[in-house]
Structure 1
């Protein structure tokens, strides 16, 4: 589920974590060639990505790791 990035912090290992509008967090690592996010290593790059959208896996699944039930209009 798309969520806006509201801030960043570092975890206990020094990896950058995005704070999302939904209250969840998501790692945003730059580890070439697997993860390419060179913007995360600079303060300016992180600042430029405030307000960007990331898909929140936790919002799309229940806490057990299974897909959340589909929402209906009725």
Structure 2
């Protein structure tokens, strides 16, 4: 299910995490060839991604609580 990005933060290892409007979060790594997300590597790219849709795998599993 597509959810909008509401913010970003970093985990303990420095990887970026997108916070989603549904309350879930997702790592958004730039790790070619698996994930090509060059926008996550710059502050401007992350700012421009705010409000953009991202697939929330947790919302696709209705048995998971929103607190995960």
Any stretches of 5+ residues in structure 2 without a counterpart? none
Flag the structure with larger Rg: 1
In structure 2, how many angstroms separate the alpha carbons of the residues matched to 1:50 and 1:38?
15
State the match for 2:36 in structure 1.
36
After superposition, where does 1:1-74 map in structure 2 within 5 Å? 1-61=1-61, 62-63=63-64
* Greater than 2 Å deviation, 4+ residue runs: none
TM-score for both structures, normalised by structure 1: 0.81
TM-score for both structures, normalised by structure 2: 0.88
Question: What SS class does the counterpart of residue 46 from structure 1 fall into?
Answer: helix
In structure 2, how many angstroms separate the alpha carbons of the residues matched to 1:43 and 1:50?
11
Report the aligned-residue RMSD.
0.7
Question: What SS class does the counterpart of residue 30 from structure 1 fall into?
Answer: coil
Any stretches of 5+ residues in structure 1 without a counterpart? 64-74
Q: Which has the higher contact order (CA 8 A, sep 6+)?
A: 2
Equivalenced residue count is 63
